[in-house]
Each structure stands twice: as structure tokens, then as C-alpha cells.
Amino acid sequence: MSSAFGIDEIQGQERALVFLKKYSSQPELLPPLLIFHGPEGTGKESAVERFIRHVLCIEGTSCGHCVSCRAFMHQSHPDIVWFPLEKNKQISIGKEDNPEEFTIRWLIRTRLYYRPHLSKVRFIVIPDASLIGNEAETALLKSLEEAPAFTRFIFIVTNLDQLKETIISRAVCIPFGYLPQSIIKDLHYKNSLTYLPAQGGSMDPFDCPPQVLEQISQRIGGNLRQPLDYLRLEEWILGYKEEHADWKEDFSFKDFLDLVGLLLLQEYSRSDFEANLPKMEAVFRFKEKLHEKIHGQENISLSLLIHELSLLEQK
């Protein structure tokens, strides 16, 4: 049965949908922990919401009319414990006596073992599981092992590497990938959002000033023909970094480099896809390095990329 805000409306995430459909039709198979993982802006939170609404629905269809669906829509469902998301604020274990709300001790003492109120299951959602502190994690691991069947956890995380192996081994991981451009365009159109050419496969665009995008595009578009051009590009990037030492919180040098990588990929795929494949692979390796989050490695990764690309350009 279809409904507004249903699982079927999740776009471009076929692999994730296989899991979500299976567990929403057979909630008794739900493992103690599901981990929704993948890049920002690919619809993980919205998928979690749709999934939870479906599983909690009294009719089992995300009907939109039952007491559970209505509580969900009023954001007052008693069987959803959605941890608040505060940037860089760790989830802590909580005080021994009288633990604060949304700490692990609070969760264990006041929620975990009590039966749900409306639905058959209670969901505990941690919207950025990379923020779980060490002590909290140890306590959580025990809860994951012992959690009653009516309490199920959902973690959301951009990269599985941010979680310990001991946590991952207790979970079923649900992968989200970058969205195809056609879907990104479509979603922007439907939501009356401005579509940027450097959008990537995510609904979360770089928060980058348009003139920066313009400048990078100019450096790259049709201008990379010989090794010297690549050296000039590197020089310009490093010069730009020097001149703009004070990056905004949500647009860092790493984001800047990410954007360079993205525009390089667009340029290569536009001109001669087959011939440019080795260069695109080099850019992907570069992006991978960038996301390893090793501080101070950006310049080295960039020189490596420039070196590889100029060698390939000579061939």
C-alpha cells in the first residue's frame, strides 16, 4: 500500500531499499542495531524517518491515519527516542546519580527496558554516531547485546570508519551512495532549490561562495592540456590557501580541494570519458585520501595528484 512519506519514495538508493523493505515487512527480523551510512545529503535521515514511521504504524503500512502515524506526524511519538544533534557535542555516559537526559545511563535506566507505549517496537536513533564518547560506547555495547526485542537502535554516520569494529560487528549496515545527477536535479526542482553545477551526488552542496566556484571552474575548464598547466593549477591552489587563511567553519581548505576534485571529474567526464579514465581514477584516489582526515596531509595529497595527472597528460 502506498502512502505519502512512504519508503517507496526514497530515490536513488536501491541497495538501502532492499534492506528497508525487508525489515519493514518483517519487523521481527530487525537486528538490535541498524547503521545507515553514506555521504552527507544523500537522504539517510529522511530514510530513517520513513522507515521508523512504517515499522511503528499499527497497520504496518505507514497508513498516515492510525494513532502511531498521527503521533509521528506531530513529532510526539512516545516510542521514538531521537538524540538531539549538536555539532561536536559528544554523547556521554551521564552521571552515576541522576544522569542527564540523552546520556547513555539515562537511556538504560529510563527507556531501554520499558515496553513501548503505542507500537510494538521502540527506536533509539543516534543521528551522528561518531559523537558517541568512549565510556558511553562501552556501556552501549553491553546494551546492544542485552537490548530487549522491543528496543532497536539506529545509528547514522557518514563513514563506517568512524565507528569501532565491535559496534559494526553487532549491526546490519545499510549503505547510502551518492545520487545520480538526474535525481539530484529532479529533487531540486521539486523542492524549488537552486541547482549548482558543482552539486556532486548530494543534496548538501558545498557552502562555497559562488565566486570561488567560478574561479576554480575557470582554472579547470578547457585549460588543462599540458603538464605545465597542472603545475600552474597547483600553484594557484596553494596561493589561494595562503591568501584565505581564515576559512569559514563550514567551508574549509579540505572542502575547497574536494570541490577542485569534483570539477576535475566533471571536466574529464565531459571531454573524453574513455581516454580520461586513468585521470579520473587518480582524482578518486585523491578524494579518498582527503577523507581519511589525516591533518596536514592535504598539500601532500595535492602534489601527488598534480604529479600523477601531469604524467598522464604527457602520454
**Least distance from Zn ion to the Cβ atom of residue 17, Å:** 20
Q: Judged by CB under 5 A, does residue 121 bind Zn ion? A: no
Distance CA 124, CA 73 (A): 17
Of 52-60, 77-85, 198-206, 234-242, the window that binds Zn ion (rule: CB under 5 A) is 52-60
Contact region with Zn ion (CB under 5 A), list: 67-75, 89-97, 131-139, 231-239: 67-75
**Binding residue (CB under 5 A) for Zn ion from 7, 47, 66, 203:** 66
Taking CB under 5 A as the binding criterion, the range among 64-72, 99-107, 184-192, 278-286 that sits at the site for Zn ion is: 64-72
Give CA–CA dist 213/193, Å, rounded: 18
Closest distance of CB 73 from Zn ion, Å: 10
| Shortest Å distance, C-beta 128 to Zn ion | 28
Residue number, 59 or 186, with CB nearest to Zn ion: 59
Q: Report 185-244 residues binding Zn ion (CB under 5 A).
A: none
Told to check if 7 binds Zn ion by CB under 5 A, we report no
Among 20, 33, 48, 69, binds Zn ion (CB under 5 A): 69
Q: Which stretch binds Zn ion (CB under 5 A): 63-71, 73-81, 192-200, 272-280?
A: 63-71
Window contacting Zn ion (CB under 5 A); options: 68-76, 119-127, 205-213, 270-278: 68-76
The owner of cell 557518514 is 158
Nearer to Zn ion, 5 or 150 (CB): 5
Interface residue with Zn ion among 48, 57, 108, 156 (CB under 5 A) is 57
Binding site residues, Zn ion, CB under 5 A: 57, 59, 63, 66, 69
